[in-house]
Structure 1
Amino acid sequence: MFKHLNKDIPASIVVFFVALPLCLGIALASGAPAFSGLIAGIIGGVVVGAISGSQLGVSGPAAGLAVIVLGAIANLGFEQFLVAVVIGGVLQILLGVLKAGVIGYYFPSSVIKGMLAGIGIIIFLKQIPHAFGYDKDYEGELQFLQADGENTFTELFNMLDYISVGAVIVTLISLAILLLWEFVLAKKSKIFTIIPGPLVAVVAGVVYYVTMQGSNLGIAEEHLVNVPVPESFDDFTSQFTFPNFSFSVITNYSVLLTGATIAIVASLETLLCVEAADKLDPQKRVTPTNRELLAQGTGNIISGLIGGLPITQVIVRSSANVQSGAKTKVSAILHGFFLLISVVTIPVLLNMIPLAVLAAILLVVGYKLAKPSLFKKMWSLGLTQFVPFIVTILGIVFTDLLIGIGLGLAVGIIVILLNSYKNSHFLHQEKVAANSKNYQLELAEEVTFLNKGAINRELQQLPNGAILEINAQKVKSIDYDVIEILDEFSVQAKERNITITFVSKKGKFENPESYKKFFEKEKKQIA
């Protein structure tokens, strides 16, 4: 686990800088104390990272839960909401015990790749205002429609009235450092692979803020990271909030419903991000999903007990981790410790970091997730891969993560149904004579109730007096619905003077009852 520290430590530093403003921004958007977001980030890194089987996934507070959390806190109060977080964690552990993690494997690859590209595009678009010094919206926001009535694209026009020259300069300096570090310096000397470029960009941003403070090119405080600064130890400990475990709260229907909602949404987001992180992993390791649910549940219980927000695995931090060269989960764990240590010891220094630096880092992350080469590759795979891919992207960019995934999944299911409709059988006419009425219906290995409509349509279009051979030699499994269709057609065939011959592995049968019994026997044997 510790043999890749030369890769994991630099990656953990990058993830730390990405996670810091996201934890604070998501807490702000959730109507919760800023410190609750930091607690979730720390627990997500240290606790969830240690228990999880994911080598590159990073957990913390998720923007996808912000709306749910905001409404729950307004309705229940923060202490009662924390009870719901704990309940959600318990339910996630139960889901892990019940092996519900298998759900994650039912999302098509095209949808997962669309999710990565969609997140990349939305990250890129959302960071442009921050790069120009327009920080009205919180870091980490991924929804298209915002609470103030604006959307992703209108904010790009709104920022033109609030451009900060200092922020633009910092963004350009940061991007120059990041690109120079990755494409030039890292290839010239090993030292540049040990020291992460984003760390250098952050240091340069802090130096710029300090040296330019008070000048026309300076950066105002509202464009900086804003970590709570405790004045004493008692002030620090007072930032922890504990849940109200009274009997009336635990049995409150709204609390239980909120807990169940958190468990379902957090688990779904986690499983999606697990699949996405595994796709990004250069070593293509597979995360045990049931163990991941156990880890997330444990993290949410602890986070709720000490005043933290709900936790999920999150793709923004996970992708930054992968792109920074992390090799093992040590990176995720260390980023949690860095959050803890820095918040306790150097909050004043953290509050000198311009948000424009972090915007530059995320611009690079977003671009790498949605490279043009990915679109070209998906197009080359054909429409059955490209259409779910592009629908998922559009859904994420113009709605939010879960709706976008749902739309992509729906299109993927439609593609599967269409393919199943086409591939269940093959009917062709034998050209023995000019007006031959010899037909052969060849059934596939798997024939389900989804295919009965297509098969029935083919049978009904046969001309009267046809000679039909039903070839079931490849059949391994067939639903009773299809057997019923064939049985009903055999009755019609007598009226239409159609002769039916059934061919199976055991020979030919001309008596419809024979092949009906054969199918039923085969089905029992398979079962």
Structure 2
Amino acid sequence: MFSRIKNDLPASIVVFFVALPLCLGIALASGAPLFSGLIAGIIGGIIVGALSGSSIGVSGPAAGLAAIVLTAIGTLGGYENFLVAVVIGGCIQLLFGFLKAGIIGYYFPSSVIKGMLTGIGIIIILKQIPHFFGYDANPEGDFAFFQVDGENTFSEIFVALNSISIGATIIAIISLTILLLWSQVLSKKGKFFQIVQGPLVAVTAGIIFYIVTKGNETLSIAADHLVKVPVPDDFNSFIGQFSFPNFAIIGNPEVWVVGFTIALVASLETLLCVEATDKLDPEKRVTPTNRELLAQGTGNIVSGLIGGLPITQVIVRSSANIQSGGKSKLSAIIHGFLLLISVIIIPTILNMIPLSVLAAVLLIVGYKLAKPSTFKAMYKAGWKQFVPFIVTIVGIVFTDLLIGIGLGLAVGIVIVLLKSYQNSHFLHIEDKSNGKHRIKMALAEEVTFFNKGAILKELDRLPRDTYLELDVKKTRYLDADIVEILEDFAFKAKERNIDIKIISERGVVDNPSSFIEFFQLRPKSA
């Protein structure tokens, strides 16, 4: 693991700068103490990072759980009561892992996962535009379409353009220029530019700009446009920022409902993120999903016990890690230690970082997830791939992550059923001979009740005086519903002067007396 530290250390610094405002913003959007977001980020990096089998995934507080947390804190009567639900959720995730429920993540189509990555990239870009111009009414980490500040994703942009902060915008443009110059030009000029990452230089420039312009009426950056890490006065006040669960309410059924909800949503988000991150991994490594659930469950138990928010693997941080050259889990672990050390030793310095600088960093992350080339490639792949891809993106942008993925999955299932309906059989019509139409119908390898309508339609359309050859040599599975259709058709066939010949692996049978008996005798078939 340490053999790749030259890649992982620079990547961990980038992930740290991406994670810091998101940890604080998600806590704010969740109605929880700001420090709780940092706790979750630290636990997600150090503990989950160490236990996980993912080489490039990064865990922390998730925006997708913000609405659940906000509601649950009010329902359960306080944050300490809510922490009990986080611990319960972690225990349930452990159970999911032991029951090997991680396989669920593999049942989502590739088009939906690619749509998820692209949709998140678009959301990141749209959400960071206001912060880029120094309009920070909505907290970082609020990725829902309808925001906590009363605006939506698009209206916020128009409001921001009427409330531009000149100083914040200037340093954001400078930072974006540094990032583009660093990645496109300087990184190819020498090892120094590969070791020292552009985001670190951009953040340093942001701190210097804040200090230099402080007091200038035009260019100074107000405190509400800066990172806001809690600053303890002494060790006791630092310890006082931790909250602990109130286990006295463990018997309350509502706590268990919230706990199960957290476990279910966090597990699903994690499994989807694992699938997406593995697709982004240049080395195409495969994460053991059951181990990931065990790691996430352990992380949520620890986070809940010391006052942290629920944890999932997060695609924003994971993609930033991959794009910055992270190669092993050491990057995630170091990012957790950086969060811990920074909130203890240098919170005052962190509070000099303009949010617009971090918005510039995230704009690059978002663009790399939602490149125009991805749309082009999916369009070329055909409508069966493109439609679920687009539906997933639109759903994520206009609702939220899980609803968008659910819509994409639903469309994907409809397309599968449609193709199954269309591909149940092959019909070949030959010339009329001996006064009868000669028609050959070959059934597919697997014919289920989904194919019922298509086959019934073809049989009903057969003209009178027909000679039907029913070829089932390649059919390995035939649903009982289809056999019943054939049985009913055999009865009607006599009235319409239709002769039936079955061609099977056992030979040829003319006008079988009972299709049900015939197919029950056939080996390897229903």
Q: TM-score range by the shorter chain?
A: over 0.9
Offset of residue 506 of structure 1: 1.4
Does structure 2 retain, via aligned residues, the 8 Å contact 1:229–1:347? yes
Helix, strand or coil: the match of 1:441?
Answer: strand
Residue of structure 2 in register with 1:296 after alignment = 296
Residue of structure 1 in register with 2:46 after alignment = 46
Offset of residue 480 of structure 1: 1.3
How many Å separate the matches in 2 of 1:513 and 1:270? 55
Q: Which moved more, 1:427-436 or 1:348-357?
A: 427-436
Offset of residue 512 of structure 1: 2.5
How many Å separate the matches in 2 of 1:434 and 1:504? 24
- CA, structure 1 residues 441+526, in 2 after alignment: closer, same or farther (shift >3 Å)? closer
Offset of residue 396 of structure 1: 0.6
Does structure 2 retain, via aligned residues, the 8 Å contact 1:430–1:436? no
Does structure 2 retain, via aligned residues, the 8 Å contact 1:123–1:363? yes
Helix, strand or coil: the match of 1:402?
Answer: helix
Residue of structure 2 in register with 1:82 after alignment = 83
1:172-191 map, 5 Å: 172-191=173-192
Residue of structure 2 in register with 1:226 after alignment = 228
What stretches of structure 2 of length at least 5 have no aligned partner? none
Percent identical across equivalent pairs? 67
1:140 to 2:132 alignment:
no
Does structure 1 retain, via aligned residues, the 8 Å contact 2:435–2:465? no
Q: What are the superposed Cα offsets for residues 166-204 of structure 1, whole Å, 9 maximum, x if unpaired?
A: 111111111111011111011111111111110011001
Does structure 2 retain, via aligned residues, the 8 Å contact 1:224–1:352? yes
Q: What are the superposed Cα offsets for residues 28-58 of structure 1, whole Å, 9 maximum, x if unpaired?
A: 1111100100000000011111111111111
How many Å separate the matches in 2 of 1:436 and 1:181? 77
Q: What are the superposed Cα offsets for residues 338-387 of structure 1, whole Å, 9 maximum, x if unpaired?
A: 10111111111110111011000000000111100000000000000000
Residue of structure 1 in register with 2:247 after alignment = 245
Does structure 2 retain, via aligned residues, the 8 Å contact 1:487–1:512? no
1:66 to 2:53 alignment:
no
Does structure 2 retain, via aligned residues, the 8 Å contact 1:43–1:336? yes
- CA, structure 1 residues 521+90, in 2 after alignment: closer, same or farther (shift >3 Å)? farther
Helix, strand or coil: the match of 2:310?
Answer: coil
Residue of structure 2 in register with 1:398 after alignment = 398
Q: What are the superposed Cα offsets for residues 216-267 of structure 1, whole Å, 9 maximum, x if unpaired?
A: 2111111100000000100000111110112xx1121110100010011111
Does structure 1 retain, via aligned residues, the 8 Å contact 2:478–2:525? no
Relative to the length of structure 1, the TM-score reads: 0.97
Helix, strand or coil: the match of 2:442?
Answer: strand
How many Å separate the matches in 2 of 1:428 and 1:146? 58
How many Å separate the matches in 2 of 1:139 and 1:334? 22
Residue of structure 2 in register with 1:312 after alignment = 312
Q: What are the superposed Cα offsets for residues 51-87 of structure 1, whole Å, 9 maximum, x if unpaired?
A: 1111111110001100100011112111110000000
Residue of structure 2 in register with 1:99 after alignment = 100
Residue of structure 2 in register with 1:157 after alignment = 158
Does structure 2 retain, via aligned residues, the 8 Å contact 1:62–1:312? yes
Residue of structure 2 in register with 1:516 after alignment = 516
Does structure 2 retain, via aligned residues, the 8 Å contact 1:502–1:515? no
Does structure 2 retain, via aligned residues, the 8 Å contact 1:58–1:313? yes
Does structure 2 retain, via aligned residues, the 8 Å contact 1:21–1:225? yes
Does structure 1 retain, via aligned residues, the 8 Å contact 2:146–2:152? yes
- Residue identity matched to 1:220: A
1:197-216 map, 5 Å: 197-215=198-216, 216=218
Offset of residue 517 of structure 1: 3.3
- Residue identity matched to 1:200: V
Does structure 1 retain, via aligned residues, the 8 Å contact 2:207–2:354? yes
Helix, strand or coil: the match of 2:247?
Answer: coil
Offset of residue 431 of structure 1: 2.5
- CA, structure 1 residues 432+341, in 2 after alignment: closer, same or farther (shift >3 Å)? same
Q: What are the superposed Cα offsets for residues 141-166 of structure 1, whole Å, 9 maximum, x if unpaired?
A: 21111234311111111112321111
- Residue identity matched to 1:354: P
Does structure 1 retain, via aligned residues, the 8 Å contact 2:487–2:514? no
